[in-house]
A and B are shown apart, each in its own frame.
Chain A
Amino acid sequence: MSGRVLRRHLASRAMTAVVVVLSFTAVLALLLILGNLVLKGASSIDWAFFTKSPVPAGQSGGGVANAIVGTGIIVGLAALIGVPIGVAAGLYLAEYGSGRLGFVVRFIADVLNGTPSIVVGIVAWTFIVRPTHGYSALAGSVALAILMIPMLARTTEEMVRLVPHSLREAALALGYARWRTSLEIVARTALGGIVTGCLAGIARIAGETAPLLFTALGNLNFSVAITQPMQSLSLQIYVYATGPFDEWHRLAWASALVLMGLVLIISITARWVTRQRYGRIR
């Protein structure tokens, strides 16, 4: 091998090594974060952690039962509002979205997907908190629902597009109306994919904090009233992590581990179901 060729091959090897090292740095970051969560959070998780509400600052003990239930209620309500709208918009994109309106809606959905969630919090505050003169879980749910809609529209569209065209044609050829073909044949076939899309959406909003800061606000007591302030795990972590007490920091790590576990379980289930059903898309 001449010197020049050798040098080029060495350069190629070197760049490959750089790419590999940098890639694994990214993976390492993930492993470090997950590892720290388990190391610092797991020891604080016991039965009381899940069943008790917080105790006054400075005392030890107490749990985050109110935050866990609150997260469930706020996110559940958000899904009730956001899922129908997002899925219907996605169905539109897949069925009638080839024209100019489809292009515009698709583009806006993609752009809205990157909207800062704190701005959406301001919108929910303006429409719900200000007129009712009170922070409420409902306002938080509306903010989270708004965050879900563009995401669901795009995943639903993608999943519905995976349904083979022949299936649709067969139904139409048998005299099915278009709307029945769309709902009973196409959407039903894609149902598994749509459901996993919804799960992924729920996983994402479950960890949101910023839009809840001045909508759901947080609540130190156990509350299930959606017209009152409500605690969520994410808000609880924020308060505890930025607070001055060691006891709070301990609870922040434990709550973060629980929230992370919740989000991971939902999103890994979603991924796994999709893969079982449709194989690797690429």
Chain B
Amino acid sequence: MTSLPVERLARPQSLHATDRSDRIYRRVLTGFALGLPLLILIILGVLFTGALPALKRFGPTFLWTSTWDPVAEIYGAAPMIFGTLASSVLALLIAVPLALSVAIFLTEFSPGWLRQPVAFLVELLAAIPSVVYGTWGIFVLIPFLRAHVVPPLKAVLGWTPFLQGVFYGNSLLAGGVILAIMIVPYIAAVSREVLLAVPASQREAALAMGATRWEAVRSAVLPYGRAGLIGAVILGLGRALGETMAVTMLIGNRHDIGVSLLQPAYTMAAAIANEFSEATTNLYQSALFEVGLILFVLTVAVNAIARVLIWRVARGQAVGSRAL
């Protein structure tokens, strides 16, 4: 606590001067705060302006054309859009059960002494830089997938279209798994705070009606926090869509649409990372700006939906900010 420097008050300021300095102070702070809305407009403006040549040339066909040919100057982003969505959905399928379990364990089942350490360790996952995930993925995850995951998967589900072909290492599967590990801490942190915001009376009422502990969680706690939990998952989706380095290092970077998890794919962020500094012609560069624009608009929309859902449960709080 700071003690008030009382002696300075011997010199009272005139009320008028105070009034003016307060107004200036408020204006200055407002100016800085306006920087954030301005920033989002600048980003949109930059991307849109940069994308104009591609937008004019290809129009909406950019979204569903699969050709990406810098020599013939024909660009279509369909494979990247597909790869971005496919890898993110795969990541969610793996990450959501893990993250929700962490949140439920921490709020409902964990003994008190275990709560802090587990929460801390899971939050640390968010501190690992993307490029370190990528390195680990190349040298540890891919050999592990090749030796211990792909063979049994093929043995059981090899007849499905999702597991056709040879496992290349760099693939949709590798990208999806690394993304899953990366988004677990975000979904877990937000879900945990959502579950903490569920009033104890909900739980107690269910238990008093004779529910078992799991039934109380399933029938009282989870439904109460549903909007926030969906928000947490969508927030994780937003992270996965825009994640760049680890995916670039693992997904294989091939302009191709295929449903097999074992084949290489591409994402929008990876395309920008790989090709932006090599884009020699204006149209090539503009096509990458348009990819950036699509990615930005998509993630802003996804994040906005997530925030609205989370704020419904915990209004105005910076939920999960310690992990984000």
Contact = CB atoms under 8 A, between A and B. Distances in A.
Interface string A129-172: 00000000000000000100111011101100000000100110
Which of B97, B101, B127, B300 has the most chain A CB atoms closer than 10 A to its own CB? B127
Interface in B113-139: 116, 118, 120-122, 124-125, 127-136, 138-139
Contacts of B50: 122, 126
A217 B277 CA distance: 9
A36 B139 CA distance: 10
B20 to A, nearest CB: 10
Nearest to B95: A26
Interface residues of B, number: 99
Contacts of A214: 276-277
A264 B127 contact: yes
Contacts, number: 294
A92 B130 contact: no
Contacts of A167: 1-2
B102 interface: yes
Contacts of A97: 33
A27 B37 contact: no
A51 interface: no
B132 A207 contact: yes
B159 interface: no
B196 interface: yes
A116 B295 contact: yes
A189 B2 contact: yes
A8 B212 contact: yes
Nearest to B245: A209
Contact of B134 (A23, A109, A189, A241): A241
Interface in B21-55: 21-22, 24-26, 28-30, 32-37, 39-40, 42-43, 46-47, 50
A22 B25 contact: no
Interface residues of A, number: 111
Contacts of A9: 212
A209 B272 contact: no
A146 B42 CA distance: 11
A85 B32 CA distance: 6
Contacts of A110: 303, 307, 318
Interface of A: 8-9, 11-12, 15-16, 18-23, 25-27, 29-33, 36-37, 40, 84-85, 88-89, 91-93, 95-97, 101-123, 125-127, 146, 149-151, 153-155, 157-158, 167, 170-171, 174-179, 182-185, 188-189, 200, 203-204, 206-210, 213-214, 217, 234, 237-238, 241-242, 249, 252-253, 256, 259-260, 263-264, 267, 271, 280, 282
- 7 closest residue pairs by CB, A with B: A207-B129, A116-B242, A179-B25, A22-B101, A12-B212, A88-B32, A92-B33
